[in-house]
Structure 1
Amino acid sequence: MDDAWTTTTNARGVGGRALAETIANARRGYNPCGEYELDVRGMKIAAIENLSVARDQYDCYDMTGNEIVRVENFPPMKRMQTLMLGDNRIARVRGEELGRAAPRLRNLTLMNNSLRNLGDLDELGAIKKLTHLSLSGNPVCAKENYRLYVIYKCKALKTLDFCKVKAAERELAEKMFGKDDGAAARAKTFTPGDGLDDAKEKEPEEEAKPSGPSPEQLLALKAKIAQAETLEEIARLENALKTGVVPADFAI
């Protein structure tokens, strides 16, 4: 396979930047997956730039082992299917920009970087055809419900950190995080005064119903849902959140 690779010089990124000459002289060839790959591994690149020099000729771009901090500045790359960015210093991924620039991107490697919070992963959901994602080695992997959160955000994902995404995980992720979207939608469509006429027609004993959980109880309910270990417990707590009737055994 090595015979299929070509390189002209051992050019390096000058001053920590991916200069056009660096890309033009990079090693290229077919990788074991049969993808035509541009290899700019370990060239001390600090910023993604000048990729237009590659003229969208490659299926795979290997930028492993550089000093990249942000995933951004991608030109239109309609051919790219695989992007390897492991062992960098990445703390920000502009997924919406990447999703627009590379609509066929399905494999993304971000192992051993500096992504710390679940919110840092939100834009990955904008990469619509992303099926294989690797994030192991990032601080965010230690966050509670990390795996379910990523599965919820990335709807097409088939493997995460080299483990298959199971249907049960997808269902649980939707139950755990999809409720927030539903609550937001209900809040946006609520109109003050709705239902007042219906309330007047109700029986007196119905008007005496409790006003619902306190703000402290609502926060506690949401926290309990996030910590629940069984689908039954999640369903019970979600029903309490929806109906406003707090279980008798519930305590903050």
Structure 2
Amino acid sequence: MVSLTVDLISKSNHFKKQRGISFAQYLKTLTHLHFSNKNIEEIGDLSVCGNLSVLYLYDNNITQIRNLDFASNVTHLYMQNNNITHIDNLHNLRKLSNLYLGGNRIAAVEGLEQLHHLKELHLENQRLGPGEKLLFDSRTLLSLAETLCILNINNNNIDDITELSVLKNLQHFSAALNKLQSIEEIEEVLRLWPQLLLLDLRGNPVCKELKYRDRLITACKSLEMFDGRKVSEATRRFLLWKKSRKHLEEKKQVHTLSANDHLLFNRYDTELCP
């Protein structure tokens, strides 16, 4: 079993290129650790690397997040394309802002309640079992409501995003290649995301709905990119104008019908009660 330890670090080319410092000094000053695509299966004791801020461990065979209690200075953690099944043992990473966990086997988004600085969360392409979809723990969502700006949940069999509406500071949201069908539900969520700039829902059944693009642009007035296409201010103004005009016409029609109904009632009243 290949384990990421200080011994493995000592054999790395990066350390061998260093001149004039001892290995102990190197470990204490180490801020970036690159060990992607090294067949690593577990994280060993790295507690001497107290200044580590960025850890690259993508494209390995890691099954469990562990031994990161020391990593209080880590801001970026790249662990995509491993075999991780649960989001565990991240509570001490209090400075973590960017978390990359795409391409694993995670079925539930949980265990992030202590990460009060998390801004980016990438969970795309989980390798789920038949009939499974990515689920979200309500406590985790509430804990991220104020900080999370970017969320990527592409290709995870998701059919409803209503519970994500609490993430009121989202700026980028990608949920392409899922199973979203209800345009009404999506409209309601978008109205609760006033800062959303980028939205990607390509490959969902909802994309086939009549006036799908127009409806969601008018529901979210801050959008700049939608399904890979820029939303111009002129387009937004035109769609909002069309919507308001339609609303006024419908309102006017209701008043006209009401007046007609009133005249009709008076006519029948006169005929029945001469």
Q: TM-score range by the shorter chain?
A: 0.5 to 0.7
For the 8 Å contact 1:152–1:170, the answer to whether it is kept is: yes
Aligned-partner Cα distance in 2 for 1:18–1:184: 52
For 1:103, which of 163, 168, 178 is the aligned residue? Answer: 168
For residue 55 of structure 2, what is the aligned residue in structure 1?
A: 5
Give me the TM-score of the superposition, normalised by structure 1. Answer: 0.57
Partner AA of 2:103 in structure 1: G
State how 1:55-74 maps to structure 2 within 5 Å. Answer: 55-66=115-126, 67=128, 68-69=133-134, 73=138, 74=141
For the 8 Å contact 2:123–2:152, the answer to whether it is kept is: yes
Unaligned runs of 5+ in 2: 1-31, 35-53, 66-83, 268-274
CA offset digits 1:142-186 (Å, max 9, x no partner): 222111111011111111012111233213422444456657888
- The 1:60–1:152 alpha-carbon spacing in structure 2 relative to 1, beyond 3 Å, is same
Q: Which moved more, 1:175-184 or 1:164-173?
A: 175-184
Q: Does 1:173 align with 2:239?
A: yes
Query: How many angstroms does 1:47 deviate by?
Result: 2.7
For the 8 Å contact 2:63–2:85, the answer to whether it is kept is: no
For residue 154 of structure 2, what is the aligned residue in structure 1?
A: 86
Unaligned runs of 5+ in 1: 30-35, 200-206, 209-252
Q: Does 1:121 align with 2:186?
A: yes
**After TM superposition, which residue ranges in structure 1, 4 or more long, deviate above 3 angstroms?**
1-4, 6-9, 17-20, 22-26, 67-72, 97-100, 175-189
Highest Rg: 1 or 2? 2
User: SS of the residue aligned with 2:223?
Assistant: coil
Query: How many angstroms does 1:11 deviate by?
Result: 2.9
User: SS of the residue aligned with 1:105?
Assistant: coil
CA offset digits 1:28-86 (Å, max 9, x no partner): 98xxxxxx411121222223323214x22322101111244456620222222111111
For residue 246 of structure 1, what is the aligned residue in structure 2?
A: none
Aligned-partner Cα distance in 1 for 2:253–2:87: 50
Q: Once superposed, what is the RMSD of the aligned Cα atoms?
A: 4.2
Aligned-partner Cα distance in 2 for 1:45–1:131: 27
For residue 13 of structure 2, what is the aligned residue in structure 1?
A: none
For residue 7 of structure 2, what is the aligned residue in structure 1?
A: none
For residue 151 of structure 1, what is the aligned residue in structure 2?
A: 217
User: SS of the residue aligned with 2:199?
Assistant: strand
For residue 38 of structure 2, what is the aligned residue in structure 1?
A: none
For residue 80 of structure 2, what is the aligned residue in structure 1?
A: none
